[in-house]
Amino acid sequence: MPVAIITGASKGLGRALASALARRGWDLVLDARTARVLKETAAEAGAYGTRVVALAGDITDAGHRTELVAAAAELGALDLVVSNASALGAEPLVRLDALPLDGLRAALETNVVAALGLVREALPLLRASAAGTVITVSSDAAAEAYGTWGGYGASKAALDQLAAVLAVEEPGLRVWAVDPGDMGTDLYAAAVPDDTDPRPEPESVVPGFLRLLERRPPSGRYAAPSLLEVTE
């Protein structure tokens, strides 16, 4: 069975992806900071009969990243790393003139440094896989200038660039930066608590991620809703 590591897997997009992959026979290593909620996600995914390892911890901790990759090795392989864990830098989001620099550092550490650290740890196993794949979860704030989204958007833009360079340096892998669009998640609610307009549920964008895995298009940046139009 293929094996995936998913960070930020306790809820939102990470949880939806975990369930969808488990239904398709993937074994999983799941990460999140909140052990209780992660345990619920693991039980949900494990109900489909696949092996699920849930490791609660902080993705910015190098030791925790090593544990995640070691758990995948124990499962026998590593075919996919999904860097989904994200930090906003400020909750709610604020203008750049009010953005705490420590908050920006935290966003960069979680969204960029930790994502690269995990991939570096995982590269030997990914290279050994016939279908080694890295997915970094991006945002339209990485490509567009929205007021108050500057710190978070800058971190996601940096992550996009790392993904693009990784694709050049590792041509044997597929490396996709994926912008899933607005979703009704706790992260979005924390970012813009006054926005009460309904947003799509994370489950609505999962088919696009699955299509990428099925079609395996060239490395690059992909965005909803065009994910469902991906061809080989």
Q: Which residues are the active-site residues?
A: 138, 152, 156
Other Cβ atoms closer than 10 A to 121: 21
Is the link from the previous residue into 92 a cis peptide, with omega within 30 of 0?
Answer: yes
135: number of CA atoms within 13 Å, CB side? 31
Q: Dihedral sign, CA of 70, 30, 43, 130?
A: negative
**Quick one: which of 63, 151, 65, 76 has its CA closest to 115?**
65
> What six digits make up the tokens of 135?
């997915």
